[in-house]
Amino acid sequence: MIVAEGLSRPALRRKLRQARRKLSPTQQRRAALDLYRQLAQHPILRRARHIALYLPNDGEIDPRPLLQEAQRRGKATYLPVVNAWPRTRMVFQRIMPNERLKPNRFGIAEPAFRPARQRRIWTLDLVLMPLVGFDESGGRLGMGGGFYDRSLAYRGRRKNGHKPTLLGLAHECQKVDCLPLASWDVRLQATVTDDGWYAN
């Protein structure tokens, strides 16, 4: 486990991103399958009809096996798409099996912007969130763009009981003893790793 004390947010981010980038392709493949096993049969996933995921970047744990399974079960699946303007916003857009993607300005694959396929985040059932670091009380450290935090700002400081369910996805090596929380940070219901669940 990474100890956060004494590290600034940028230093902590650097250290955690390095740790996940060091995982070999074999370790990444195994982690993706272990994550799949943690989640595929879980009621949270079985009950959700509109599910947002992401495509892996920078050593993030790979949720594509879950994406394919969700599509196989006939669920509507969504990816984050960063806006050209304003540059601080992102939307969630439905993704069809085998849809053509192209890299956004961060180099992350995205579908072409199509408003008719977009859905407001509060109408989704489940958002599986990428993260750089997490702690055992629902704390999340992201890439630093504030994209997820801004999208979820409507939740205010309420903890649970509102749509969508927020689950972080991570490698075990992204666990931090305790993350400093900013006022805008949104708490996760749980983080799921290749090794298990950390429920808040």
Ligand X SMILES: Nc1nc2c(c(=O)[nH]1)N(C=O)[C@@H](CNc1ccc(C(=O)N[C@@H](CCC(=O)O)C(=O)O)cc1)CN2
Q: Which residues are annotated as a binding site?
A: 55, 60, 140-148
Structure tokens at 90: 């992102």
Single residue of 55, 109, 143, 190 touching ligand ATP by CB under 6 A: 143
- Could you give the 3-state DSSP secondary structure of residue 116? helix
Cβ at position 43, least distance to ligand X in Å: 25
- Could you give the 3-state DSSP secondary structure of residue 72? helix
Residue 16 or 126 with smaller CB distance to ligand ATP: 16
Nearest one of 148, 168, 170, 8 to 91, comparing CA atoms: 148
Nearest one of 145, 144, 129 to 187, comparing CA atoms: 129
- Residue 57 touches which of ligand X, ligand ATP, none (CB < 5 to 8 A by kind)? ligand X
Altogether, the residues listed in the chain come to a count of 200
Here's the x/- map for ligand ATP, 147-176, by CB under 6 A: it reads as xxxx--x-----------------------
Positions in the binding site for ligand ATP (CB under 6 A): 141-150, 153, 182, 184-185
